[in-house]
Amino acid sequence: MSPVSQPRKRRKEARPSELTAAALGLFVERGFAATRLEDIAARAGVSKGTLYLYFDSKEALFKAVIQEGVVPVIAENEAIAARHSGSSFDLLEKLLENWWQKIGQTDFAGIPKLMIAEARNFPEVAQFYYENVIRRAHALIGSALERGMASGEFRRMDVATTIDVIIAPILMLLIWRFSMACCQNHEGDSQLYLQIHMDLLRQGLRASQV
């Protein structure tokens, strides 16, 4: 008689990443306020009690989602900027391309819409996102702009405002995808959108040739 097979035990160390993956999916689908911890636990295939072994609140779980998935990409871009030796526009392209590949084409792309919609209702979460993502991303873009202005590659502009103008079209692309895109009868070409954006930036940033 063959021995009775024992139930497979899930690796304890795998559970936090399973929980953050489940949380990300639900946050993007439902928003922060409408997502319940019990729903996250159910999607991850664990009990609510197990979830509390790792995260004591929904806010802590959201912060873990950002720390696990978004912050490492910011750190990658900081490393890219630190070792870059080419033109400043090439640096901007590298930063935006890496961000798009790692964030813009994943479920993390839904986070900006979530933050815009719910920041006022959850100021602690919004402040965490601002300090760990937005502030660092702005610093990267600003550094590339200042580098280009100092070298004469870019014309002189107000850096803080230019950062916003560079980021805004990409932010709108993501917000549209997770909102009004459902009303379109065709899927937009994000690569073409980004190519046009970069072409416009190339022309708009460069210093005038006398």
Does any domain span residue 97?
Answer: yes
The domain of 28 spans 12-57
Rounded Cα–Cα distance for residues 77 and 98 (Å): 7
pTM value?
0.87
Looking up tokens 């779980």 gives 61
Report the range of poorest mean pLDDT among 41-55, 67-81, 176-190: 176-190
Rounded Cα–Cα distance for residues 95 and 140 (Å): 8
Looking at the fold, whether 111 and 161 belong to one and the same domain comes out as yes
162-to-86, 158, 208 alpha-carbon distances in Å: 21, 6, 17
Tens-place pLDDT, residues 81-106? 999 999 999 999 999 999 999 999 99
Confidence band for 118, pLDDT divided at 50, 70 and 90: very high
What average pLDDT does range 130-143 have in this prediction?
97
Tell me, what CATH number does 189's domain have? Answer: 1.10.357
Tens-place pLDDT, residues 20-61? 999 999 999 999 999 999 999 999 999 999 999 999 999 999
For 156, list phi and psi in degrees, rounded to 5. -75, 130
Structure tokens at 69: 């998935």
Q: What is the number of domains present in the chain?
A: 2
Does any domain span residue 6?
Answer: no
Looking at the fold, whether 84 and 48 belong to one and the same domain comes out as no
3-state secondary structure 99-120: HHHHHHCCHHHHHHHHHHHHCC
Looking at the fold, whether 39 and 143 belong to one and the same domain comes out as no
